[in-house]
Structure 1
Amino acid sequence: MNEQVEVVNHPRFGRAFGEKHFMFKPGFIHLNQGSYGGYPRPVRDALRSVQDAVQAEPDSFVRYTYPAKLDKIRALLAEHLGAANQDEIVLVPNATTALNTVLRNLKYEPGDLIAYVQGTYGAIEKTVDYLVETTPAKSVLVPFDPTMDDDYALVESFRRVLQEHHGRVRVAIFDTIMSMPGLRMPFERLAHICREFGVLSAIDGAHGIGLIDLDIDRLGADFLTTNCHKWLFVPHACAVLYVASKNQHLMRSSLPTSHGFQPLPEILHKRQYMSPYEPPASMNPFVFQFSYTGTIDNGPPLCIPAAIKFRKEVIDFILRSLARDYNTFVNIAFISGALWARLSAQIYLELQDFEYGAEVLKKLCEKVAKREYVH
């Protein structure tokens, strides 16, 4: 019996793929997808289509068309991220905005602590410092050396800090993937420990969607954010903010506060406010707050379907780091007494690109040793 075998033509990844689908200038080797992203031509086309639609009828699009499309986008993201309830997901400009929204909405009492893991992204660590300056909260650091400690050491260190300050830690912040170096964290276990101790978990998944699997319902986190512009191939600026339904009452306002905010009755005093559009009676108040926070480029959030479609058709990829001044870029950071380089692997790269990056780094190290950087 003759069997018919279906032949599937998989895309040829590497430089030819990058030249066909992406828009980097000729000769540029992009080794830093993990910072500011880079999106393919089909997503660029979707972005321009949305921008044209906005300009065709600005008021109608912003007031009526965009909210309806945004609901469909949130449903698509909920399915992609394993969240059964799409009303637990809203879109914000970036992960820093998302975590600021969460941390600044929480109310802190004297004695409250904000815990965060050593190596937390700088902007978020500074946000914690700001809250220590402006609220009764204090901070507590979970020790972690990514060059020496393994997952077990981090989990035990995290548990030890929460145990030592049992009843005082209001919220704990940790990554899905640490920015520098590009290290996957045991965030699932850390979220579980937070539940054990009754601590709110705020997960910084800036490097998340499109890079690793995120099953939100199974994870059981209180708050999570993930940037769409890094690994999902969406234009700047667009990020997911997940807030579990049980915690949405804690999020009194979007950041910035805008038309969706509902003042307390004693403050409102029967005043009436104008809004760009009125939500349906069934709309979740939390979702409404984040549906419109001011005039933005409506394009990036509405490019999410095109980005997910592109990924499903052609992508299988990973990440590392970058080098500059040789028509490329490599991210360098001083960690635990040494310089570390993070290389971002992507489908538009080939082995020779990484060899080139290593050669450049070697040359730069030799120049530093010879003090050639001194002018």
Structure 2
Amino acid sequence: MTSIDQSSPQTGGNNLPKFGPRLLQHFDFHPDYRNLNHGSFGTAPRDVRKRMRYYQDLSEAAPDKAIRYDFPKFIDESREAVAKILNAPTDTVVFVANATTGVNTILRNMTWNDDGKDVILYFRTIYGACGKTIDYVVDSGLEKVSSHEIDVKYPCEDSEVVSAFKAALKTCADEGKRAKICVFDTVSSLPGVRFPFEEMVKACKEASIISLVDGAQGVGMIDLNLSGLDPDFFISNCHKWLHVPRGCAVLYVPFRNQHLITSTLPTSHGYVPKSKQRNNPLPQSTKPVFVNNFEFTGTVDNTPYLCVKDAIKWREENLGGEARIKEYVNSLAKDGGKKVASILGTEVLDNKAGTMSNCAMTNVALPLSAEEASAASEWITQKLLQEYKTFLPLYMNEGRPWVRISAQVYLDIHDFEWAGQTLLELCTRVKKGEYLGKQAGSY
């Protein structure tokens, strides 16, 4: 990929810099650290983080003026900017700290029927914290709601995912239960593959089921058109693939469902009680109740929310905009995954249609047995951090060890080649039994 000509469509022309290591000058990684796990925590360029410090300085210079009067205007500008790239009305999007907070906000605002028949559907590959959120809702629901896990075995075709969902609906009905809401990803975490969320939203509509799309790995990585998709709820982390400082996520609630979301997490001044009048000490607002509710949720540092517009502008001016970025990172993930698999003598996790790999992360099988990988996983992780100055998520899928690698604008194919050689070396060391020796210390 680094051989692509500067003026080609993939690199944008117009004197835009080529993607790859030369863009590291915009980030503050340690010179010895190679970030191959952008999918976990993301990162923000230096210029955007400078804007965050600017907003923080405003709040120190005149706290009441900044927090009460200036920040709401900046948040509105960021809502408008992110709504534009999501193709959604501005007043359907607000910000929360992260996707897990968004999932919690939606599920904790749900009301469950007293007959105890309501069911929350979710897939086996749900993000762990969101799975535990469902567990909490069920545990604290006074037996009004239960959950049902939908099993999918990767790799699988998109149609198999939808079929598994429909089979779960039938199972619930056969048990005298009523599926009320289904939680599913845009791109799942482990394995890091694209989920057929468009087909799932459609299937939910056909079954009159509420769709809750966990797009934690979404905005900035894959194309999203929320007006066309029309989910019931959608959350996406801006601090992962949109280069916004941590932590910031966009929460989309279409107008038809905003009456269902009465409280933020935590409940704050924007809440409108049903039983009594309470004073709101913040400046009077003419904004919709939903928007006003999420504007202030207590004294926290929400300056990352203000940076969304700055990050989008930075990506446009320095990287050529959303389409160019997505084309590069998705192509790099595909090509990089093949390169790593070739070095390891294994394979990339994908289905026959190739749709699972249509994202900016790739998953490659490790040349280890399940027993070796399970026994040596912590050793491998510590060696990656201590000796190789990087991190790669390791996980088991269908009894086989895999590794997830993230593509990003500051990486190129040589980084994936390095990752492949590093993993090959570590796997060789595992097979020699090195992990059985003295345990590595803390990083």
TM-score of Structure 1 vs Structure 2, range by shorter chain: over 0.9
Note if 1:324 corresponds to 2:421.
no
In the other structure, the counterpart of 2:424 is 362
In the other structure, the counterpart of 1:3 is none
Q: Residue 143 of structure 1 aligns to which amino acid in structure 2?
A: D
Contact 2:77 2:309 in 1 (8 A): no
Superposition deviation, residue 366 in structure 1: 2.1
Give the secondary-structure state (helix, strand or coil) at the position aligned to 1:98: helix
Give the secondary-structure state (helix, strand or coil) at the position aligned to 2:130: helix
Note if 1:308 corresponds to 2:312.
yes
In the other structure, the counterpart of 1:140 is 148
Contact 2:219 2:236 in 1 (8 A): yes
Which shows bigger deviation, 117-126 or 308-317? 308-317
In the other structure, the counterpart of 1:279 is 285
Give the secondary-structure state (helix, strand or coil) at the position aligned to 1:348: coil
Superposition deviation, residue 157 in structure 1: 1.0
Give the secondary-structure state (helix, strand or coil) at the position aligned to 1:178: coil
Aligned length: 361
Note if 1:154 corresponds to 2:156.
no
Query: What's the Cα RMSD here?
Result: 1.7
Which shows bigger deviation, 126-135 or 233-242? 126-135
1:222-266 deviations in whole A, cap 9, x for unaligned? 0000000000000011100011111111112111001111111xx
Q: Which of 61, 64, 69 matches 2:66?
A: 61
Give the secondary-structure state (helix, strand or coil) at the position aligned to 1:171: strand
Rounded Cα–Cα distance in structure 2 between residues aligned with 1:295 and 1:306: 22
Contact 2:81 2:312 in 1 (8 A): no
Give the secondary-structure state (helix, strand or coil) at the position aligned to 2:50: helix
Contact 2:78 2:307 in 1 (8 A): no
Task: State the percentage of identical aligned residues.
Answer: 41
**1:253-292 mapped onto 2 (5 Å cutoff):** 253-264=263-274, 267-268=275-276, 271-280=277-286, 283-292=287-296
Superposition deviation, residue 7 in structure 1: 6.9
Rounded Cα–Cα distance in structure 1 between residues aligned with 2:101 and 2:221: 21
TM-score (norm 1): 0.92
In the other structure, the counterpart of 1:15 is 21
Note if 1:72 corresponds to 2:77.
yes
Contact 1:258 1:294 in 2 (8 A): yes
Q: Residue 350 of structure 1 aligns to which amino acid in structure 2?
A: D
Superposition deviation, residue 180 in structure 1: 1.1
Superposition deviation, residue 14 in structure 1: 1.3
Rounded Cα–Cα distance in structure 1 between residues aligned with 2:69 and 2:15: 42
Contact 2:193 2:361 in 1 (8 A): no
Superposition deviation, residue 313 in structure 1: 2.7
Q: Residue 233 of structure 2 aligns to which amino acid in structure 1?
A: F
1:148-179 deviations in whole A, cap 9, x for unaligned? 31212112111222244357111000000011
Q: Residue 294 of structure 1 aligns to which amino acid in structure 2?
A: G
1:38-81 deviations in whole A, cap 9, x for unaligned? 11122122112111111111111111111122122211111110
Note if 1:129 corresponds to 2:170.
no
Q: Which has the higher contact order (CA 8 A, sep 6+)?
A: 1
Give the secondary-structure state (helix, strand or coil) at the position aligned to 1:165: helix
Superposition deviation, residue 221 in structure 1: 0.2
Note if 1:50 corresponds to 2:91.
no
In the other structure, the counterpart of 2:373 is none
Note if 1:185 corresponds to 2:182.
no
Rounded Cα–Cα distance in structure 1 between residues aligned with 2:278 and 2:126: 42
Which shows bigger deviation, 307-316 or 200-209? 307-316
Segments of 5+ residues of structure 2 without an aligned counterpart are 1-11, 320-324, 330-359, 363-380, 439-443
Note if 1:334 corresponds to 2:402.
no
Segments of 5+ residues of structure 1 without an aligned counterpart are 1-5
Contact 2:102 2:235 in 1 (8 A): yes
Rounded Cα–Cα distance in structure 1 between residues aligned with 2:256 and 2:289: 13
In the other structure, the counterpart of 2:344 is none
Note if 1:117 corresponds to 2:178.
no
Rounded Cα–Cα distance in structure 1 between residues aligned with 2:97 and 2:44: 17
Rounded Cα–Cα distance in structure 1 between residues aligned with 2:69 and 2:317: 31
Note if 1:169 corresponds to 2:175.
no
In the other structure, the counterpart of 2:215 is 205
Give the secondary-structure state (helix, strand or coil) at the position aligned to 2:218: coil
Give the secondary-structure state (helix, strand or coil) at the position aligned to 2:406: coil
TM-score (norm 2): 0.78
Give the secondary-structure state (helix, strand or coil) at the position aligned to 2:125: coil
Q: Residue 391 of structure 2 aligns to which amino acid in structure 1?
A: F
Q: Residue 284 of structure 1 aligns to which amino acid in structure 2?
A: P
Q: Residue 166 of structure 2 aligns to which amino acid in structure 1?
A: R
Q: Which of 57, 81, 87 matches 2:86?
A: 81
1:75-114 deviations in whole A, cap 9, x for unaligned? 111111011x211111000000000000011011211000
Q: Residue 160 of structure 1 aligns to which amino acid in structure 2?
A: A
Contact 1:50 1:298 in 2 (8 A): no
Q: Residue 275 of structure 1 aligns to which amino acid in structure 2?
A: P
Give the secondary-structure state (helix, strand or coil) at the position aligned to 2:423: helix
Give the secondary-structure state (helix, strand or coil) at the position aligned to 2:106: helix
Rounded Cα–Cα distance in structure 1 between residues aligned with 2:14 and 2:140: 59
Rounded Cα–Cα distance in structure 1 between residues aligned with 2:258 and 2:196: 25
Rounded Cα–Cα distance in structure 2 between residues aligned with 1:202 and 1:226: 11
In the other structure, the counterpart of 2:248 is 238
In the other structure, the counterpart of 1:372 is 434
In the other structure, the counterpart of 1:294 is 298
